[in-house]
C-alpha cells in the first residue's frame, strides 16, 4: 500500500469500513448486543466490536497484504509510520444502550501522513470518506465546513475521557466556558462522528483530550479535506499517537486555541495543566482510552 494512490487507498478504507459495518448491522437486525465486557468501570467492549474488527482486518489483509494494522481491541502497529488505524465500533457505550451515535472508522497513515479515511454509520447506511488532496465526501456528495466566523454563533462539540469520574471538574471547566460563549455545546460520545459533523458543517468546532489514534485518524483527514483545520488543543501539530484534538472550520480556530490555552492554565485540580500532563501515551493512557 506504500505506493498506492490516495484514491486507491480510499477505496480500500471504504470497503473495510463497510465490512465492519455489515457485522454491526447484522447484530442490530438480530436486536442483540451479545456479551459485554468491562475494560474499566465505564469502558465497554462487546462481541460485536471484536467481530467487526476481525472483518475489517480480514478485508485490509486481503486488499493490502503486509501493511501493519493498529486496531483498538487487538492492538498492533502503535508508533508505526505506515499503518492502517482501525476503530471497529466508535461509540460502544452508545451501541450497548441503543443510543444512535456509533460508527466504524478506518484510516491509513503512510510515512507519517494521513492518506485516506472512511467512517461508516451502520444505522444510517452512511459512508463518509476522504483521500489526501482529493477532498471529502459523504454519501457521494462533497463536504465543506461551515462559514461561521464568530464563537457566539457557533455550535461546539466535545467529549469526555474515561477518567471523567475522577476529573469531572476539569472537563466541566471547559464546558462552562463554551456554554457561556457559544450557541451551544453537544456531547454525543463518538469522536469520529464529531469530526464528521465538523466536516459536514453541522457543527463549527470540536475539542477533546485523552484520545487515541483510532479515534481521530480517519476523521482528522476528513475535516482537513473538507476545508477545516485539525491541530492539538494548544494549536500545535496534531500528534496522532497522543491526540489532544481541536478541530474547526478554520475561521474559529485561533479563537478556540486562545480559549483552550487559558482554560488549561486555570483548570481545577491544580493550575498550569499542560497537554503533556493529560495522558495519551504509555501505560496509564491505556486505562483512559477509548469511547
User: φ and ψ at 143, to 5 degrees?
Assistant: -105, 150
Residue 202 scores a pLDDT above 80:
yes
DSSP the chain: -TT--HHHHHHHHHHHHHHHHHHHHHHHHHT----EEEEETTEEEEHHHHHHHHHHHHHHHHHSTT--EEETTTEE-TT-SSEEEEEEEETHHHHHHT-S--EEEEEEEETTEEEEEEEEETTTTEEEEEETTTEEEETTEE--------GGG-EEEE---TTTTTSHHHHHHHHHHHHHHSSEEE--S-HHHHHHHHHTTS-SEEEESS--HHHHHHHHHHHHHTT-EEEETTSS---TTS--EEEE-STTHHHHHHHHHHHHHH-TTSS---GGGG--SSHHHHHH---
Task: Report the pLDDT averaged over residues 118-122.
Answer: 98
Predicted pLDDT of residue 274: 52
pLDDT value, residue 30: 82
Residue-averaged pLDDT of the chain: 87
Between 119 and 42, name the one with better pLDDT. Answer: 119
Would you place residue 164 in the very low, low, confident or very high pLDDT band (cuts 50, 70, 90)?
low
- pLDDT of 286 over the 50 cut: no
Rounded to two decimals, what is the model's pTM? 0.89
Whether residue 235 is predicted with pLDDT greater than 70 in this model: the reply is: yes
For 51-85, write each residue's pLDDT tens digit.
999 999 999 999 999 999 999 877 777 777 899 99
For residue 190, pLDDT beyond 70: yes
Q: Could you tell me the residue ranges of all domains in the chain?
A: 6-142, 151-288
Q: pLDDT digit string (tens) for 251-265?
A: 999 999 999 999 988
pLDDT digits (tens, 9 = 90+) for 133-149: 999 999 989 999 999 99
Q: How far is CA 182 from CA 149, 156, 160, 244, 266, in A?
A: 12, 7, 19, 21, 19
Would you state the cell numbers that stand for residue 250, as one nine-digit string?
478554520
Cα of 123 vs its chain's centroid, Å: 18
What's the mean pLDDT in 227-236?
A: 96
Quote the pLDDT of residue 84. Answer: 97
Sequence-ordered list of residues with C-beta below 8 angstroms from that of 221, at least 6 positions apart, any chain = 107, 114, 115, 116, 117, 130, 132, 136
- Give the mean pLDDT of 11-19: 98
CATH topology of domain 6-142: Fructose-1,6-Bisphosphatase; Chain A, domain 1 (3.30.540)
CA dihedral 148, 151, 154, 155 (to 10 degrees): 140
What pLDDT score was predicted for residue 270?
Answer: 45
pLDDT at 280: 40
Note the pLDDT of residue 290: 36
Please tell me the predicted confidence (pLDDT) of residue 43. 42
pLDDT band at 243 (very low <50, low <70, confident <90, very high): confident
151-288: same fold as 6-142?
A: no
Q: Which residues contact 28 (CB under 8 A, 6 or more apart)?
A: 122, 123
User: pLDDT-based confidence at 35, cuts 50/70/90?
Assistant: low
Domain 151-288: state its class.
alpha beta
Amino acid at each position: 500500500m506504500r505506493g498506492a494512490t490516495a484514491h486507491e487507498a480510499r477505496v480500500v478504507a471504504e470497503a473495510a469500513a463497510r465490512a465492519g459495518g455489515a457485522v454491526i448491522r447484522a447484530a442490530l437486525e438480530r436486536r442483540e448486543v451479545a456479551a459485554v465486557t468491562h475494560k474499566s468501570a465505564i469502558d465497554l467492549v462487546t462481541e460485536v466490536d471484536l467481530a467487526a474488527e476481525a472483518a475489517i482486518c480480514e478485508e485490509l489483509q486481503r486488499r493490502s497484504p503486509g501493511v501493519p494494522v493498529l486496531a483498538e481491541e487487538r492492538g498492533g502497529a502503535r508508533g508505526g509510520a505506515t499503518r492502517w488505524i482501525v476503530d471497529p465500533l466508535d461509540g460502544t457505550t452508545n451501541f450497548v444502550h441503543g443510543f444512535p451515535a456509533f460508527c466504524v472508522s478506518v484510516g491509513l497513515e503512510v510515512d507519517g501522513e494521513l492518506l485516506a479515511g472512511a467512517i461508516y454509520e451502520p444505522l444510517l447506511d452512511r459512508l463518509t470518506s476522504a483521500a489526501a488532496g482529493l477532498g471529502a465526501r459523504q454519501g457521494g456528495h462533497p463536504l465543506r465546513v461551515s462559514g461561521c466566523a464568530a464563537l457566539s454563533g457557533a455550535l461546539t462539540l466535545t467529549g469526555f475521557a474515561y477518567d471523567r469520574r475522577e476529573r469531572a471538574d476539569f472537563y466541566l471547566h471547559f464546558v462552562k466556558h463554551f456554554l457561556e460563549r457559544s450557541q451551544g455545546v453537544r456531547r454525543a460520545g463518538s469522536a469520529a462522528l464529531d469530526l464528521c459533523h465538523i466536516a459536514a458543517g453541522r457543527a463549527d468546532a470540536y475539542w477533546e483530550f485523552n484520545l487515541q489514534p483510532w479515534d481521530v485518524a480517519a476523521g482528522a483527514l476528513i475535516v482537513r479535506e473538507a476545508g477545516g483545520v485539525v491541530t492539538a488543543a494548544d494549536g500545535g501539530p496534531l500528534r496522532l499517537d497522543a491526540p489532544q484534538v481541536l478541530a474547526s472550520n478554520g475561521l474559529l480556530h485561533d479563537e478556540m486555541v486562545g480559549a483552550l490555552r487559558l482554560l488549561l492554565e486555570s483548570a481545577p485540580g491544580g493550575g498550569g495543566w499542560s497537554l503533556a500532563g493529560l495522558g495519551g501515551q504509555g501505560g496509564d493512557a491505556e486505562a483512559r482510552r477509548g469511547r
